[in-house]
Structures are given as structure tokens and as C-alpha cells.
Amino acid sequence: MRNIAVLLTFAALIIAAAPAPVRAQDEVCLNTVEQVLGNHGMTMSDVDVYGWRTDRFAYKGGEDGPVDGYRFYGRPKSCKDGELSIEMGSDCGLQDTFTHGGCRIKGIPHIWW
């Protein structure tokens, strides 16, 4: 019994010491996103469902490399399905903006996938 308790304690310590999964740095490029939305007559309150993603350079095969860029994706209230995607560089500079699915916004390119 004692060996099992020691083994379970050791396993718990290993799990606790493991690095946290890479998460998007929420809203790090919020100013860029707000500017893009504003250019198309929207604000953040016009986007119901949204999320952020941090893209990382695959450094030596790992997922914890340096930040390569950020992505914002969301569904404006004017879209019943699909979404708006805004891609930015590591400096939050705008790289690409597009919609897909059933979401169409005048002045923003639409892709089919």
C-alpha cells in the first residue's frame, strides 16, 4: 500500500510541474481588431461569439516557440453562421481579414472554406 501512495504522490508532482498548455494571449491585439471592426461600421459589442488564437513558430518541433502572430475570429450579430477572421503579426500589424461560411461583410473578402 505504501508503494502505491508514493507512486501516486510522485505522479501528482510530475503532473503539477508540467508546463501549462499554450493559450492565446486574449485581447493582446484588441486595438487592431477594434480598428478593423470600426472601418466596417462595427464595434466589439456587434460580435456575439468570438475567440483569440496565438500562432507560434514551431521551434525545434515543439509548440512553445516564439509568437508568430495572433488571430481573432468571431461571429458578428449580422451573420447567422460563419465568421469573421482577422489575422495579425506578432506586432499586431494587420495581415489578413476575411469572412467564411454564411458570413458576408461588405468590403471584406469572403473565402469558401
Q: What pLDDT is attached to residue 67?
A: 87
pTM of the model: 0.73
Task: Please give the residue range of the domain that contains residue 103.
Answer: 22-111
Q: Which residues of the chain have pLDDT under 50?
A: 5-24
Sequence-distant (6+) residues with CB within 8 A of 32 are 86, 88, 92, 93, 94
Domain assignment of residue 3, yes or no: no
Domain assignment of residue 4, yes or no: no
Domain assignment of residue 15, yes or no: no
Task: Give the number of domains in the chain.
Answer: 1
Q: What pLDDT is attached to residue 5?
A: 44
Task: Tell me the C-alpha to C-alpha distance, in Å, between residue 18 and each of 12, 13, 21.
Answer: 10, 9, 9
Structure confidence by residue, pLDDT tens digits, 86-102: 999 999 999 999 999 99
Domain assignment of residue 2, yes or no: no
Rounded to an integer, what distance in angstroms lies between the CA atom of residue 92 and that of residue 96?
11
